[in-house]
Structure 1
Amino acid sequence: MATAGALDTDSEDEIPAGWEERVTLEGRVYYANHSTKSTQWEHPTTGKKKRITGELPYGWERKLKDNGQVYYVDHINEKVTYTDPRLAFAVEDTGNNLLEFKQRFDASSTAEQVLQGRDLTGKYVIVTGANGGIGFETARSMALHGAHVTLACRDMKKAHDAVERIQKERKVAQVVAMRLDLASLKSVQEFAEEYKRNDWPLHILILNAAVFGVPHELTEDGYETTFQVNYLGHFFLTQLLEEVLIRSAPAKVVVVSSESHRFSDLDLDNISIQKLSPDKDNYTAMYAYNLSKLCNVLFAHGLHARLSKFRVWTNSCHPGNMMYTNLHRSWWVWTLLFGLARPFTKSMQQGAATTVFCATALEIDGYGGMYFNNCCRCLPAEKTFKEKLCNALWELSEKDGVRSNGKI
């Protein structure tokens, strides 16, 4: 096996005799000492930590042996090596503080700009609520860059229309529509079972669908609609697709939340199914939306904590304020307010940018449990860092939301 130590160089990064430089699947560089049979993250001479970034060079392919050993194939020169070709260009790893990473995009960036030059061929993606608005632009942008995208929608007519619109732009676009009604746990289960029957991998799961400002109404499962559609249905869907994500790893889950998650008093002292899914007398549409979006951020943190060891990374994001999507359709007053704000808010392409960034940006591969706004990591509400609150929501969602319905 080739090692960096074999190079004739005066560089301070030269590997001492008996050491070997290796790379994890997440891109972190580590060092193996063949004399002591031990490994460490720090360079044996400089003490620095490094990681590789970017995609493999043109013509290269990473493969996995049956025993789990990774090797690399150079199809142009017809060579095989166990050394990642990007190792020579490894950069210093400054740790988990992504605020130190150079920000490439901002509030004015579009999903197309985020994906410029990217080839997503071979990536399988699910986007919920993808027949219109931000979800459509998310799905469209990724499909135009080669991904196989499943539009998971309740209204199949609109979903098929969306597929046609995408394929008119790119005839070979791999886009399919499948029915998913998040207000029905039975529908969620049927969607997951159909997806599994197709025997497709799943590299990116984008939980985008949401309702806003709807009057109080219970779903067929007995939960308040905003709570189930925005959060519980997505929680259940992810649970059912968990094995597919792990089998397809590395994989990413993106939970679309909102800055409104900050305006909720949910805490360990009051968390209950009655609080999350209130009766009509205790229901306020705006508060229910805020609460569901807080649940989204807590869920993203909890999911990353559970699945990151399997190389499934989860982040949440805010797409933009008062964007003119179909969220406002429940009440004419919302339509009026959103219409007045329209000239000052993001376009749908701009709204999809942060979601697409979380799903595809190479610089955050291997990182999760974070919250993004305007394609940049920012701090969510302080309570979302409370592990006990994350766990309480998770346990409550399983006990009262999913397991009590006999689904898993």
Structure 2
Amino acid sequence: MAALKYAGMDDTDSEDELPPGWEERSTKDGWVYYASHDEMKTQWEHPKTGKKKRCAGDLPYGWEQETDEKGQVIYVDHINKRTTYFDPRQAFTVEDVVVKPKRYDGNTAALEILQGRDFSDKVILITGGNSGIGFETARSFALHGAHVILACRNLSRAIKAVSLIQQEWHKARVEAMMCDLASLRSVREFAESYKAKKLPLHILVCNAAVCTQPWRLTEDGLESTFQICHLGHFLLVQCLQDVLRRSAPARVVVVSSESHRFTDLLDSCAKVDLALLSPTKKEYWSMLAYNRAKLCNILFSKELHRRLSPHGVTSNAVHPGNMMYTSIHRSWWLMTFLFSLARPFTKSMVRDKTSLKHA
């Protein structure tokens, strides 16, 4: 009898091994059941252990659950372009419903942060979304179902960014719109075009920025770094404030920087010296202009939250992390050189090698 036992059902040390003729399947909501082809029956309990299980967590990145023409649940792997009836989560089943909270650190990518979140009912606007941090933000939200709008000064690059995201997932809802923060007229025109779409606005990410720019004045007669990094976003938020309030709960996210600490903008009474925001060409230093604009970002976000939070609109200034390698330094050869030397020690915006290159 012992010989027959080991030659038959129990030919493995794993108690989870299914007997011959049995198959493990899952329901649409992730609960595991077992089908016997010999006895033509199904049951919730494992035929050997008697335990009930469910699929742990969410579908892996790139997978989507759909229903075929017969009404049967299928799983589509968009990355490898294949379809299966096998739930990929069945490799990670659990016996209870307790899910430990996720822990994040400096190596966590945006897609991991959003894993399992459904943004299909959200409209998200991102300035400077065609490259760098803005692109990864747009890509991550779009791949989680959001309707994402890229507000960029270079429309052709923005359209290319839209194409890259849609190549990764054909159902991604992404579009590009023209918005040049160096022109207050362009900002106002963009706001009017956005309102004409009759869309809500649940998240506004003020991301676009320039650094190490040579001194120049915009068409509005303002120093370009200060206008692009701060004043353009200030005006954009003011123009879309009514849309944000109607879409509540909504939020504004202002991408800040640790550089705000290194500025002479505040006097001993913590008041802003406005004269420093419009330096002459002789007084101008590109990094200091950037630092001043980043401090203004934080002060603006704090005051915006105070005024709009009673109306369901929150505002947060978010520092993306030190040593983040982007193309923001491209305007000055020396900064580009220094960033190149530091590249091995910087954090990449995309950890996995399978992600699309967009730089």
Q: TM-score, normalised by structure 2?
A: 0.67
Give the drift of 1:272: 4.1
- Contact map agreement 2:138 2:148 (CA 8 A) in 1: yes
Relative distance call for 1:244 and 1:231 in structure 2 (3 A) is same
Structure 2 Cα separation of the partners of residues 319 and 175 of structure 1: 23
- Contact map agreement 2:265 2:273 (CA 8 A) in 1: no
What do you get for the CA RMSD once the two structures are aligned? 1.4
Alignment of 1:47-62 (within 5 A): none
Structure 1 Cα separation of the partners of residues 169 and 219 of structure 2: 39
Partner residue, 2:66? none
- Contact map agreement 1:323 1:338 (CA 8 A) in 2: no
Partner residue, 2:212? 213
Partner residue, 1:340? 341
Partner residue, 1:3? none
Give the drift of 1:279: 1.3
Partner residue, 1:200? 199
Structure 1 Cα separation of the partners of residues 260 and 350 of structure 2: 23
- Contact map agreement 1:127 1:151 (CA 8 A) in 2: yes
Aligned positions, number: 249
Structure 2 Cα separation of the partners of residues 103 and 242 of structure 1: 33
Partner residue, 1:182? 181
- Contact map agreement 1:320 1:345 (CA 8 A) in 2: no
Matched, 1:126 2:125: yes
> Structure 1: which amino acid aligns with 2:130?
N
Partner residue, 1:260? 259
Partner deviation per Cα, 1:186-213 (whole Å, 9 max, x = no partner):
0000110000000000000000000001
Partner deviation per Cα, 1:369-408 (whole Å, 9 max, x = no partner):
xxxxxxxxxxxxxxxxxxxxxxxxxxxxxxxxxxxxxxxx
- Contact map agreement 1:134 1:349 (CA 8 A) in 2: no
Partner residue, 1:304? 305
Alignment of 1:315-326 (within 5 A): 315-326=316-327
- Contact map agreement 2:148 2:173 (CA 8 A) in 1: yes
2:140 partner SS? helix
Partner residue, 1:163? 162
Structure 2 Cα separation of the partners of residues 246 and 214 of structure 1: 35
Alignment of 1:62-101 (within 5 A): none
Structure 2 Cα separation of the partners of residues 317 and 323 of structure 1: 13
Give the drift of 1:103: 8.0
Q: Which has the higher helix share?
A: 1
Structure 1 Cα separation of the partners of residues 255 and 171 of structure 2: 28
Pair member with larger Rg: 2
- Contact map agreement 1:127 1:207 (CA 8 A) in 2: yes
Alignment of 1:304-383 (within 5 A): 304-349=305-350
Listed as ranges, the gaps of 5+ residues in structure 1 are 1-101, 351-408
Structure 1 Cα separation of the partners of residues 306 and 350 of structure 2: 31
Listed as ranges, the gaps of 5+ residues in structure 2 are 1-100, 352-359
Partner deviation per Cα, 1:105-142 (whole Å, 9 max, x = no partner):
12111101100111100100000000001100000000
Structure 1 Cα separation of the partners of residues 328 and 334 of structure 2: 12
Of 334-343 and 140-149, the range deviating more from structure 2? 334-343
1:255 partner SS? strand
Structure 2 Cα separation of the partners of residues 282 and 271 of structure 1: 18
Give the drift of 1:302: 0.5
Identity %: 59
Structure 1 Cα separation of the partners of residues 188 and 274 of structure 2: 21
Relative distance call for 1:315 and 1:325 in structure 2 (3 A) is same
Relative distance call for 1:117 and 1:103 in structure 2 (3 A) is closer
Q: TM-score, normalised by structure 1?
A: 0.60
